[in-house]
Amino acid sequence: MTEFKAVRGMRDLLPAEAHHWRQIEQVTQDCLNRFGYLEIRLPLLEFTELFVQSAGLSTDLVQKEMYTFADRNAESLSLRPEGTASCIRAALERRLLANNQSARLWYGGPMFRYERPQKGRYRQFEQIGAEAIGFPGPDIDAELLALNWRTWQALGIADEVTLQLNTLGTAPVREAYREALVAYLRMHEDQLDETSVMRLEVNPLRILDSKVPQTLALLTEAPVLTDFLDAESSGHFNELQRLLEGLDVPFTVNPHIVRGLDYYTKTVFEWTSEKLGAQNAFCSGGRYDDLVGLLGGKSMPAVGFALGMDRLALLVQETQFQNQGLVDVYIVPLTDEFCLEALKLAHQLRCELPAACILCHAGGGKIKARMKQAHRSGAQVALLLGEQEVHTGGAMMKPLRTDTEQHFVALAQLATSVAAVIDTPGVVGEA
Ligand code: HAM
């Protein structure tokens, strides 16, 4: 028999990990909502051309990393490798930007890239991303980074992260810089590593990203983009730094941050942490003032970020959240005869204690086996239902984590008695 395995680079998140993720997502999404970003849900599949046009034909993303196939109608589709292109496509198609309207949007979910899997790098991974469309100034860049910073503070990781900031300037700035960089590197081509030689042709700015020591040494003498900035680009960058300082968002300027997607202009950034090892960027983004126009809309400036949930979850310690067990109450019908009463009691308690997790025994078995399941569930209290309890209209309440004796509680008092014992109280109708 074939033993099925998950596809390479695609992982299952088991319940404990999924619970951890859910808590991080809640904190993150709460921060986004409080900064006025609205959720948008986007499809997993788009026409391949959307990513070619946006990320750029010469990028690794388009050249090597997309899951692309022809559908039954012979249309070339791709699993989305990132969310920005889809978000802009949707905003244009659904006219969210009509009449020069701006938009603050966020999205989340799986992205797909055919990369070499390693710790923190997968072929299916999750992002939560946000895009602020229609805002030209550095004020929104600063607000976006402040939103990131507040999120890291709320997640308890602010001490372990660094914001690396750079500017790529406007398109003409980059063009002039590109020429100067290529001219310099051509003079030293024999000392360049193989990948960098290839990039010299297609995407020379990505050479700045190289980790090869010999190339890095060569780059110390290379022209720097800062020297090529026009007044508009440097004004934007200086003002952003002033705002971040005023907002107490710490950052370092790193001229080597160039990003792997072609759509960026001016501000680019990566949030990194030394704790993550080689894949140390857990949230990245920047400004992309030309993309809306490129995708067929009226030209509109925009800026955004995406955080990688897989990497963020590695950074956030589970203990930072109240790591309570999931189950609060386990209801045990003593025989199958009382199954209906047990299910009805579970329903009643779920209505009266909306924050509590109530599990009702299923699967039959002897009383001993049922009680064993109750203990295993991690619940704090078991409610036992037998002939006598059903007849009298109540349940036997048995605390599972303390030595307190079990005792009978009438149906009308059950929610209040349970709420007094579990960590997740809140009887509906009580203060
Ligand atoms: P990106 O840098 O390609 O940017 O991805 C954003 C984040 O997704 C990375 O910082 C990383 O944490 C995570 N990530 C990327 N690839 C993987 C992978 N193979 N496995 C695990 N995590 C990964 C973007 O995607 C842009 N759309 C961000 C953006 C939004 N720029 C402007 N707006």
Provide DSSP, 336-347.
GGGHHHHHHHHH
Q: What is the pTM of this model?
A: 0.89
User: How far does the centroid of ligand 1 lie from the alpha carbon of residue 306, in Å?
Assistant: 6
pLDDT of residue 321: 66
Does the Cβ of 301 fall within 6 Å of ligand 1? no
CA dihedral 203, 208, 210, 216 (to 10 degrees): 140
**Ligand 1 pocket, mutate which of 59, 64, 82 (most atoms under 8 A from CB):** 82
3-class DSSP state of 348: helix
How many whole angstroms separate alpha carbon 431 and alpha carbon 416?
Answer: 12
**Ligand 1 pocket, mutate which of 127, 140, 257, 307 (most atoms under 8 A from CB):** 127
User: How far does the centroid of ligand 1 lie from the alpha carbon of residue 26, in Å?
Assistant: 20
**Ligand 1 pocket, mutate which of 13, 284, 295, 305 (most atoms under 8 A from CB):** 284
User: How far does the centroid of ligand 1 lie from the alpha carbon of residue 61, in Å?
Assistant: 11
Structure tokens at 153: 């503070």
Sheet holding 302-308, edge to edge: 38-39, 103-112, 124-133, 302-308, 281-287, 267-272, 162-167, 252-253
In this structure, what are the phi and psi dihedrals at residue 129, rounded to the nearest 5 degrees? -125, 160
Given a contact cutoff of 8 angstroms between Cβ atoms, the answer to whether 209 and 222 are in contact is no
DSSP code, position 430: -
pLDDT of residue 208: 87
Task: For residue 252, list its beta bridge partners.
Answer: 164
pLDDT of residue 40: 98
Of all protein residues, the one whose alpha carbon is nearest to atom 2 of ligand 1 is: 284
Q: For ligand 1, what atom is nearest to the CA of residue 120?
A: 21
Does the Cβ of 264 fall within 6 Å of ligand 1? no
Task: For residue 79, list its beta bridge partners.
Answer: 45
User: How far does the centroid of ligand 1 lie from the alpha carbon of residue 283, in Å?
Assistant: 7
Does the Cβ of 107 fall within 6 Å of ligand 1? no
User: How far does the centroid of ligand 1 lie from the alpha carbon of residue 241, in Å?
Assistant: 23
pLDDT of residue 431: 38
Where would I find the H helices in 188-272?
194-202, 213-219, 231-246
Does the Cβ of 28 fall within 6 Å of ligand 1? no
267 class by beta-carbon count within 10 Å (0-12 exposed, 13-18 middle, 19+ buried): buried
pLDDT of residue 262: 86
> If the chain, 431 residues long, is cut into consecutive pieces of 10 residues, what is the mean pLDDT of each piece?
95 93 96 96 98 91 95 98 98 95 97 96 98 96 97 96 96 92 92 89 86 89 92 97 97 90 94 94 97 94 98 85 75 96 96 94 95 94 97 96 93 95 63 38
pLDDT of residue 396: 97
**Vertex 215: Cα angle to 183 and 178 (nearest 5):** 30
pLDDT of residue 423: 73
Does the Cβ of 113 fall within 6 Å of ligand 1? yes
Nearest to 357 by CA among 326, 398, 387, 388: 326
